[in-house]
C-alpha cells in the first residue's frame, strides 16, 4: 500500500468527470452571475442545464466500465454509484428548470441560487460514489452547507430565516454525531474505509477476547444516527416539517428529493460495509422504519398546509425506503434469496420524480413576493393552470400508490422483497400505511380540482415553459417506469449480472 517511492497511484480521471463537470458548471454559472446584465438569469439557467446534460453524458460514458475503486480507494466507480449520480443530476436539472419563474415571483431572483444547487448536487454525488467514511462526511457537508444557505435564501422573510437556522443547527448537530461515529470506527479498525469493518469482523476468532467490539458498535450506531437525521427518519425527523415549510418551495423540492437520494444511497454503501454485523443493526432499523411510516402518515392527516403535508409524506416515504433497505440487507445474509439494490433505486427515482413534481406545482401560488401554502390557497388551481393540475393528479396518485404509476410499482417491489425475506408483518405495515396516506393526498387533490375559491379568488403565477417542462418530465417518468419496469431494472443492474443472464439466455433462444 505505501511504497516508499513517491510515484502516486494512477488516477482514473474519467470516473471523476461527472463530478468535475457539475462543479465546473457551477463555477461558470458564478462567473456569468458576476458579468451578466442585471435583468435576467436566463444565461445562467441555460448554462446550468447544458452543464448538467454534459455531466449526465459523462456518467453514461463510464457506464459499461467494470466496477473499481480509484484515488487510492477513495472513489468507487460502479453501476450503483453511476445510477444514483444520474438521479442526482436529474433532480438538479428539474430544479433548475422550474426555479427561475418561481424565484422571480418570490422576488429573490439571485443568480447565486444556481451554483449553490449545483454544488449541493456535487456533495451528493461524492457521497454516493465513495466507500471511505471521511470522504462521505465531506460530501455530506458539501451537500448540507449549500442547502443551509438555500433554505434561508429569502433572507427578509421570517419563515425562511427560521427554516435556515433550524436546518443549520440540527444538521450540524447530526454531522457531529456522524463524525464522532467515524472516529470510533476508525479507532476500532485503523482505517476510515468501510471494508475495514468486515475485515475486522473476519478476524474476530483470532482476537483476544477483550477486543473492544463495543467501540465499533457505538461507531456504527452514531453514524446511523447521522444518516437518520439526513434521511428524516423518526425520531430524528423533527426538523423536516419546519424546514420544508419555511424554505422557498423550489429549494424544498430539491432538498426533499436530492438530499434523500444521497442519504439513502450512502446509507446502503455504509451498511454494505457493515453487513457482517447486520444482526445488531437490523432490528434497530426495523423499529425506525415502523415508527417513521406510522408517524409520517398519521401526523400528515391533521395538517392544513400543503407543504407540511408533503413534508410528513416525505417522512413516510423515508420509512418505505427503509423497508426496502432492510429487505436488501437481510437478503445478503440468506442463501436462497437474492435481492439487489434495484428496488431501492427504483423507489428513489419514483420518489424523486413525484416529490419534485408536486413541489413544482405548489410553487405556483407564489406571486408578487407573497406565497400562500395553505390548502385553501390552491382552490381553483385547475382552472388557472390545467396542465400542472393534471400532472399533480399523477403525482398524488403515485405518492398514494395508485396502480399504473411509478409509486405503485415501487411499493409493490418493496412489498415483494419484504415478503421474500420473511418479513410479512413489515410488508403489511407498509400496506396499511399506504392506505392511510390516501386520505391526505386526496385532500390535496380535492383542494386543487374540486373546491372553488370562496371569498377572494387566489391569484396564481403564470405557468412558464420551465415549469411546464418540469411537470411534464416528472409525470412522463412516473408513467414510463411503471410500464417499462423490467427494461429499467435491467438497465440499472450491475454489468456482472448482465453477463450471467447473457450466458444463460442462448440455450433458450436455441430451443426456439
Q: Which of 25, 41, 189, 373 binds another protein (CB under 8 A)?
A: 189
* 432 forms part of the interface with another protein (CB under 8 A): no
CB of 5 to another protein, least distance (A): 14
C-beta separation of 437 from 313 below 8 A = yes
Cell of 436: 392511510
* 374 forms part of the interface with another protein (CB under 8 A): no
Segment 289 to 328, residues that bind another protein, using CB under 8 A: 303-305, 308
* 191 forms part of the interface with another protein (CB under 8 A): yes
CB of 176 to another protein, least distance (A): 3
Cell of 166: 433550524
d(Cα 354, Cα 465) in Å, to the nearest integer?
Answer: 19
* 276 forms part of the interface with another protein (CB under 8 A): no
Nearer to another protein, 182 or 232 (CB): 182
Nearer to another protein, 117 or 184 (CB): 184
d(Cα 232, Cα 251) in Å, to the nearest integer?
Answer: 16
The residue count for binding another protein (CB under 8 A) is 54
Cell of 427: 410488508
Pair type for strands 75-77 and 68-70: antiparallel
Read off the DSSP letter of residue 7: P
Q: Which of 53, 61, 65, 211 binds another protein (CB under 8 A)?
A: 211
| Residue range at the interface with another protein (CB under 8 A); choices 54-62, 238-246, 288-296, 359-367 | 238-246
Nearer to another protein, 177 or 468 (CB): 177
| Strand partners for 69 | 76
DSSP letter string over 452-480? ---SSPPP-PPPPHHHHHHHHHHHHHHHH
Angle between helix axes 158-189 and 195-202 (nearest 10 degrees) is 30
d(Cα 276, Cα 85) in Å, to the nearest integer?
Answer: 27
No. of helices (H) and no. of strands (E), the chain = 21, 4
* 9 forms part of the interface with another protein (CB under 8 A): no
C-beta separation of 300 from 245 below 8 A = no
CB of 201 to another protein, least distance (A): 10
Nearer to another protein, 80 or 312 (CB): 312
Count of CB atoms within 10 A of residue 30's CB? 17
d(Cα 510, Cα 116) in Å, to the nearest integer?
Answer: 55
C-beta separation of 57 from 86 below 8 A = no
Q: Spell out, one character per residue from 158 to 177, where the chain touches another protein: x when CB under 8 A holds, - when not.
A: xx-xxxxxx-xx--xx-xxx
Nearer to another protein, 2 or 39 (CB): 2
Cell of 6: 513517491
* 145 forms part of the interface with another protein (CB under 8 A): yes
Segment 77 to 136, residues that bind another protein, using CB under 8 A: 134
* 192 forms part of the interface with another protein (CB under 8 A): yes
CB of 425 to another protein, least distance (A): 31
Interface contacts to another protein, rule CB under 8 A: 1-2, 134, 137-138, 141, 145, 148-149, 152, 155-156, 158-159, 161-166, 168-169, 172-173, 175-177, 179-180, 182-184, 186-192, 196, 199-200, 203, 206-207, 211, 241-242, 245-246, 303-305, 308
Amino acid at each position: 500500500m505505501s511504497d516508499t517511492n513517491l510515484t502516486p497511484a494512477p488516477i482514473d480521471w474519467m470516473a471523476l468527470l461527472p463530478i468535475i463537470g457539475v462543479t465546473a458548471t457551477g463555477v461558470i454559472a458564478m462567473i456569468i452571475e458576476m458579468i451578466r446584465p442585471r435583468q435576467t438569469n436566463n444565461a445562467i439557467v441555460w448554462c446550468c442545464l447544458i452543464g448538467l446534460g454534459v455531466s449526465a453524458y459523462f456518467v453514461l460514458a463510464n457506464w459499461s466500465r467494470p466496477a473499481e475503486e480509484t484515488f487510492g480507494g477513495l472513489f468507487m466507480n460502479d453501476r450503483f454509484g453511476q445510477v444514483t449520480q444520474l438521479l442526482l443530476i436529474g433532480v438538479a436539472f428539474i430544479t433548475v428548470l422550474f426555479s427561475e419563474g418561481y424565484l422571480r415571483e418570490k422576488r429573490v431572483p439571485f443568480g447565486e441560487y444556481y451554483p449553490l444547487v449545483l454544488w449541493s448536487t456535487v456533495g451528493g454525488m461524492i457521497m454516493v460514489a465513495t466507500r471511505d467514511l471521511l470522504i462521505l462526511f465531506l460530501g455530506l457537508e458539501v451537500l448540507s452547507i449549500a442547502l443551509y444557505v438555500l433554505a434561508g435564501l429569502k433572507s427578509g422573510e421570517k419563515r425562511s430565516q427560521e427554516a435556515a437556522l433550524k436546518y443549520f443547527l440540527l444538521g450540524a448537530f447530526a454531522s457531529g454525531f456522524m463524525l464522532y461515529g467515524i472516529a470510533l470506527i476508525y479507532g476500532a479498525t485503523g482505517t476510515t474505509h468501510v471494508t475495514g469493518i468486515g475485515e475486522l469482523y473476519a478476524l474476530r476468532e483470532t482476537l483476544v477476547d477483550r477486543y473492544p467490539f463495543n467501540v465499533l458498535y457505538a461507531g456504527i450506531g452514531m453514524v446511523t444516527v447521522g444518516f437518520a437525521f439526513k434521511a428524516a427518519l423518526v425520531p430524528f425527523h423533527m426538523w423536516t416539517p419546519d424546514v420544508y415549510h419555511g424554505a422557498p418551495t423550489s429549494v424544498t423540492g430539491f432538498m426533499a428529493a436530492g438530499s434523500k437520494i444521497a442519504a439513502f444511497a450512502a446509507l446502503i454503501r455504509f451498511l454494505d460495509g457493515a453487513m457482517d454485523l447486520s444482526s445488531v443493526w437490523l432490528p434497530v432499523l426495523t423499529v425506525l422504519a415502523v415508527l417513521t411510516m406510522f408517524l409520517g402518515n398519521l401526523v400528515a392527516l391533521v395538517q392544513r398546509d400543503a407543504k407540511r403535508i408533503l413534508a410528513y409524506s416525505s417522512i413516510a416515504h423515508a420509512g418505505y425506503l427503509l423497508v426496502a433497505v432492510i429487505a436488501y440487507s437481510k437478503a445478503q445474509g440468506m442463501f436462497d434469496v437474492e435481492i439487489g439494490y434495484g428496488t431501492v433505486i427504483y423507489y428513489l427515482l419514483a420518489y424523486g420524480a413525484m416529490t419534485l413534481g408536486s413541489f413544482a406545482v405548489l410553487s405556483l401560488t407564489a406571486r408578487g413576493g407573497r406565497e400562500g401554502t395553505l390548502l385553501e390557497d390552491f382552490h381553483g388551481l385547475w382552472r388557472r393552470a390545467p396542465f400542472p393540475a393534471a400532472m399533480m393528479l399523477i403525482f398524488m396518485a403515485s405518492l398514494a400508490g395508485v396502480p399504473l404509476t411509478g409509486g405503485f410499482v415501487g411499493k409493490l417491489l418493496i412489498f415483494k422483497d419484504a415478503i421474500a425475506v420473511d418479513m410479512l408483518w413489515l410488508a403489511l405495515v407498509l400496506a396499511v400505511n399506504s392506505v392511510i396516506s390516501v386520505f391526505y393526498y386526496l385532500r390535496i387533490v380535492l383542494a386543487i380540482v374540486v373546491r372553488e375559491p370562496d371569498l377572494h379568488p387566489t391569484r396564481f403565477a403564470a405557468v412558464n415553459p420551465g415549469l411546464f417542462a418540469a411537470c411534464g418530465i416528472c409525470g412522463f417518468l412516473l408513467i414510463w417506469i411503471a410500464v417499462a419496469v423490467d427494461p429499467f431494472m435491467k438497465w440499472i443492474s450491475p454489468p456482472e449480472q448482465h453477463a450471467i443472464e447473457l450466458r444463460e439466455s442462448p440455450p433458450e433462444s436455441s430451443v426456439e
